[in-house]
Structure 1
Amino acid sequence: MSDADLAREELKAAIARLADGDRSALEFIYQATSAKLFGICLRILGTRDDAEDALQDVYVSLWRSADRYDPARASPISWLATFARNRAIDRLRSGKVQSGAVPVDEAMEISDETPLADEQLEVQQSNAQVHHCIETLEERQRDAIRTAFFHGATYAELAETQGVPLGTMKSWVRRGLAKLKRCLEA
């Protein structure tokens, strides 16, 4: 099970515990989600004070309605993000916000820019595959590719560091990239 899947399952379990009246579950949920939900509120409301008030409303609403969460309909973070968006829009409509908020009509269009869970999972799987394939390379190719692509070193810098001719370094990297490509396509 990936880290994202594990986090999702822990959040689902915490919401279920909260629905059963477990106060400690609310603390766990807050720690796991408050930064993201605060960001949603802040984008809509425009000020920290208003966003904090809306965020408090989110967790009060969650306390009252955790039993309504249906994991078959939405991921826990999507459900909570909807709470945050709705509470922020409610505050806009009530007129209780300071200047800096977006108009209500525009707030309806503000979306959560965080990639969806399935997109995050795909990225994590791709990253894991790349790292696995890099580990299959010879040590000198692996080190050269990591240093060039992850740390921005030039071929000339790599050649100088390794004490080899520039052409040799280019060959190591080119052959390593070819092996990497074959591994990733497999």
Structure 2
Amino acid sequence: MKEAVRVGRHTEPQPDLQELLARTARGDQEAFAAVYDRVAGAVLGLVRSVVRDHAQSEEVAQEVLLDIWRTAPRYRPEKAPAMAWVMTLAHRRAVDRVRSAQASAAREHKAALLDRTPEFDEVSEQVETRLEREQVRRCLCALTEVQRQSVTLAYYRGLTYSEVAELLALPLGTVKTRLRDGLIRLRDCLGVSA
């Protein structure tokens, strides 16, 4: 469908938006300029109704118009009228901006709350840590010598099961069994539920 534009005494047919998008998809800058002129106002109006902030609305509208230029080859006239496609792009971009702004505000709010969180009482934290260490030492002493050596080498010195087996001159299976049994006894001694 062609739109008519009056030039002097003559009326010249103007290409419709769908045709302009097809030409834009082929890289026709003049066609894109015509698309821009036809849809910029409607795009900005829709974006403003969603975003509400005028400066951000203008920014989002420009992004939408760039999207039209970049994604014109993906427009399929059989799926939607040209203006509906443009307005869908605008609505999606506007909603994305609002969601992004809300997520940013939520992160800032969370950060502000964390800044207000009182610092831990260092003395009580140190006392707790010391008591926990003492309890672990007592429980380690309750293990058999091989269990204690295996646990100490694997968990305090960071050796692999194979390295522990080699260092203690024991078969790997034996080390694994002693480690498992030692950890079970530690868990029971420390009162940790499985």
Rg larger in structure? 2
TM-score, normalised by the number of residues in structure 1: 0.47
Higher relative contact order (CA 8 A, sep 6+): 1
Q: Which has the higher strand share?
A: 2
Report the TM-score when normalising by structure 2: 0.45
